[in-house]
Amino acid sequence: MSKRALKKYIAELPKEALEEQMIDLYERFPMVKEYYDFIFNPKEDKLVQNAKAKIGNEYFPVKRRRARARRSVAQKYIKHFIKLGVAPDLVIDVMLYNLEIAQLFARERNVPDSFYKSMLNSFNEAVRFISVHGLLPDFKERIVKIYTETQEQDWPYTEGFSRALDIID
C-alpha cells in the first residue's frame, strides 16, 4: 500500500474505527508501543543508562565468563535512539561510551585487527554526528581523550583516527 493510498484510507475511516486500529497496533506491535510510550513519557536518561549497561556487559560480562565485544549491540541502540528521536547529546554520549569501554577492554586483552577497524568506524560515526549537530564544544574533551588513548595503546589505523579528527577542526 502506498502512502497516498493510506492517507486516503485514513481520511475515509470514521474516528471510532481509526481509534480501534491505533489501539490494535499499540497492543500488537511492541515497536509501536515503545514509540508511543516514548512520545508521551520520554525517559531518555533511563533508556541511555539501560543501553550503557548492555554495552558494558558486552565487554565486561556479569553473568558470562567470556566477553563477546560486539560493536553491533551499541550500533543497534544508537540507531534505535536516532529513530525514536532521543536528544542528540544523549546519542553522542552512548557513542562515546561505546568507544571508551572498548578501549578499556582492548587495554586488558589481545583483540583482533577487525576490532580496531570497527572501533575506527564507530569513531568516524561519532565525530560526524557531533559535527552535524554542532555539539563539539560539549564533547571535544572526550573525543580528544579517546584519540589520545588510541595513540597510547598504539592501535592500528591511527591515520584513520587522525583523519576523523580533521573533520571537526
Domain boundaries, the chain: 1-41, 43-168
Q: State residue 79's pLDDT score.
A: 95
pLDDT of residue 62: 86
Distance from C-alpha of 83 to C-alpha of 37, rounded to nearest angstrom: 14
How far apart are alpha carbons 106 and 94 in whole angstroms?
18
What is the rounded distance in angstroms from the CA atom of residue 59 to the CA atom of residue 55? 7
Q: What is the pLDDT of residue 2?
A: 92
Cα(66)–Cα(84) distance, integer angstroms? 32
Instruction: State the pTM of this model.
Output: 0.84
Task: Name the DSSP letter for residue 134.
Answer: T
**How does pLDDT run along the chain (169 residues), one tens digit per residue?**
899 999 999 999 999 999 999 999 999 999 899 888 888 888 889 999 999 999 999 999 988 888 888 889 999 999 999 998 899 999 999 999 999 999 999 998 888 999 999 999 999 999 999 999 999 999 999 999 999 999 999 999 989 999 988 877 6
Q: What is the DSSP code (8-state) at residue 141?
A: H
